[in-house]
Structure 1
């Protein structure tokens, strides 16, 4: 399944996907038609039968909300207007969390809010996990909803709640990933010359959390909250121009394959967030050829992707250093962030 930004006018309102929204919200059909007439767009995920499996509508607001208790004061913020997912074990919810945060950051907005009925317990837990906090209640003809707000850049010390913040005072490293694995792990960092069907509806693509299994020298030195710059290696052309930095993330933990007591324990840990199939993971368990495991969050995709030439000439990385895993200074990290056009609101010192 592919995530697309579509016009409301191109979405079939009669799709059974919207039945629960019609039940929850009085006048939902009229609201939807009005959005279609205005030319508004939303993120839509469809399955192989073209049936909708996920829908996310975002809008920018600047007004005060007196229908919320306590009042939500006037500010520029992103409203999550509609959010629904047909959950089926592939972490589409995390994909949408990342998309709404990315959308806010790209529009230089640091506050998002969403209204949700108390009965949607799992959705509320998901939002709270990534930093949405209870503000108050919104009353309407459809009933009372909880209002949850996330402030990007607010630091609590909880890696998930602080997502997508990157701490430039922490150690930072370049982590190289081969092209055949890169876009499957980082769907929002797809290159322009890649086909979208590379991105499948699987946990490793959808999840904010990633697992990378390797035997790169030095990765065992990584510590929680360290920053990773994801570096997509060359795929046939000159590395100077086709190897590029594409994304940044934050280390959750590192482990060794030898830490696991048995194969099933290893599979349970790695399978949901790794690009490898169960059979491939079983082979990795048997051979122990790639014993080092990094779990990290996928925080931001670089809008501009500096290539190796730029990293050497503009950032100052050592041309002769080991390209697989390389430590960066705080200043080098900030230069990559600047070259990548990352919004400064997610970089703290």
Structure 2
């Protein structure tokens, strides 16, 4: 975006005789971060030449070359002045009017000024939304600079250069890729980032280095992948953290980031036996083998947008291939699933009570099942008709402050069982229950629902459910109509 700076912004910004106001420094930094171009108008040179302070005038004039100058700025005729309804009684008015006129003609996108007369004229002309005071412009810049995706709890977004390459965490990467250190240092100088889980002294437990690309060629002799593409350059979980489902957590972070930032595809390279587990994990979420890169790296690609053409896939197959997108059409059943507060906190870590506390980003304060996309729900409900692909709306119970639906999932599989030796191997990676708790539950026939977490939603309180006809305490699984579902979401 092209930004025109008024002279009352320009002079304090370039007067090196005095300390720079932090607001001006922040404006310059954030303008650069956001890729904005800072412009001045040729008439402002006249403005500066009228400065009575010779030393300041000389300094400011010497520094104007760092700004872009509006080339061939539009002329302001008496007819233009009349049409705008602007007064022009002196040289200052003339410069102000020329700046505003350039804005009105589209020579720039926005004008930054603290001059109230300019702001008044802008309002009279209907361009007041494009004229910002410095403080307003700073708010805009800060909002622009914020990442479009909030990193899930327990995951940090960090600069690569923050970590010491001598950490043992990097040893296996170094042994598998001869030039890893050089590649990493180059990526660091390019200001690349990673999603990480760390311990004391910034010891790395897990890391996913990512890169945004446009139309990349990802396999040998292949055509470019069209669109905005997210590359997961390195995805590793260290040995001490294995079993905590951090790989799944990092993938969830990548999917969330890709959806919120409108990516078309995600891909990654794998090679060697160390990546066999990663390949298996990725294939569970819609990554498909595309071919080889540099003859020795397998490339896996996942679509992050749903095709516009009709797709003949069962709801569960669709949710796997296009996760986190899913089908919720009329022939897909929907159920409200009650879940007690303590289990809700464990299973859905991002909206747990812990997530707003002091230790929100301490990964070891969460149970492994809070990191998973694939989860399990266990109860004694007698319902038998839930099937793969059905939609689950999780309702938080036994919490007077949060009796609401906040999470959506999709069914993978359901079965009924009483044998702990059959249930435990299946749910051990997913459930919030300990073995002792499971043994108590399995004293009678138990319903096990294996599901995938799809998304969090704005809380739907009990009052809204009741208003739509979902009456009485929600103490057991309850089917709702497609019509009610549509009004809820």
Aligned pairs, how many?
321
RMSD: 3.0
Displacement after TM superposition at 1:37 (Å): 4.4
Paired residues for 1:235-314 under 5 Å: 235-237=399-401, 242-258=402-418, 260=419, 263-285=420-442, 287-288=443-444, 291-302=446-457, 304-312=458-466
- In the TM superposition, what whole-angstrom CA distance separates every residue of 1:41-66 from its partner, at most 9, and x where no partner exists? 32112356753221012333223327
- Partner of 1:346 in structure 2? none
Contact in 2 for aligned 1:118/1:146 (Cα 8 Å): no
SS in 2 for 1:70: coil
Displacement after TM superposition at 1:118 (Å): 4.5
Unpaired runs of at least 5, structure 2: 1-152
SS in 2 for 1:78: strand
Displacement after TM superposition at 1:198 (Å): 8.3
Higher helix proportion: 2
- Partner of 1:165 in structure 2? 325
CA shift in 2, pair 1:224/1:4, >3 Å: same
- In the TM superposition, what whole-angstrom CA distance separates every residue of 1:234-272 from its partner, at most 9, and x where no partner exists? 5243xxxx22322211112222233x3xx3223223332
Contact in 2 for aligned 1:166/1:249 (Cα 8 Å): no
CA shift in 2, pair 1:92/1:326, >3 Å: same
Contact in 2 for aligned 1:131/1:162 (Cα 8 Å): yes
Rg larger in structure: 2
Unpaired runs of at least 5, structure 1: 338-349
Alignment partner for residue 149 of structure 1, among 301, 313, 319? Answer: 301
Farther-moved stretch of structure 1 (187-196 vs 118-127)? 187-196
Q: Distance in 2 between matches of 1:198 and 1:233?
A: 25
Q: Distance in 2 between matches of 1:277 and 1:12?
A: 38
- Partner of 1:210 in structure 2? 375
Structure with higher RCO (Cα < 8 A, 6+ apart): 1
Paired residues for 1:75-90 under 5 Å: 75-86=227-238, 88-90=242-244
SS in 1 for 2:356: coil
Contact in 2 for aligned 1:45/1:54 (Cα 8 Å): yes
Q: Distance in 2 between matches of 1:66 and 1:130?
A: 19
Alignment partner for residue 21 of structure 1, among 162, 173, 186? Answer: 173
Task: Say if 2:393 is the partner of 1:229.
Answer: yes
- Partner of 1:345 in structure 2? none
SS in 2 for 1:21: helix
Per the normalisation by structure 1, the TM-score is 0.79
CA shift in 2, pair 1:189/1:72, >3 Å: farther
Contact in 2 for aligned 1:189/1:247 (Cα 8 Å): no
Paired residues for 1:29-68 under 5 Å: 29-47=181-199, 51-65=203-217, 68=220
Displacement after TM superposition at 1:280 (Å): 1.7
Displacement after TM superposition at 1:133 (Å): 0.8
CA shift in 2, pair 1:37/1:323, >3 Å: farther
Higher strand proportion: 1
Q: Distance in 2 between matches of 1:66 and 1:125?
A: 20
Farther-moved stretch of structure 1 (70-79 vs 167-176)? 70-79
- In the TM superposition, what whole-angstrom CA distance separates every residue of 1:296-323 from its partner, at most 9, and x where no partner exists? 1112223x3333344455xx35243636
Q: Distance in 1 between matches of 2:377 and 2:424?
A: 13
- Partner of 1:341 in structure 2? none
Contact in 1 for aligned 2:267/2:301 (Cα 8 Å): yes
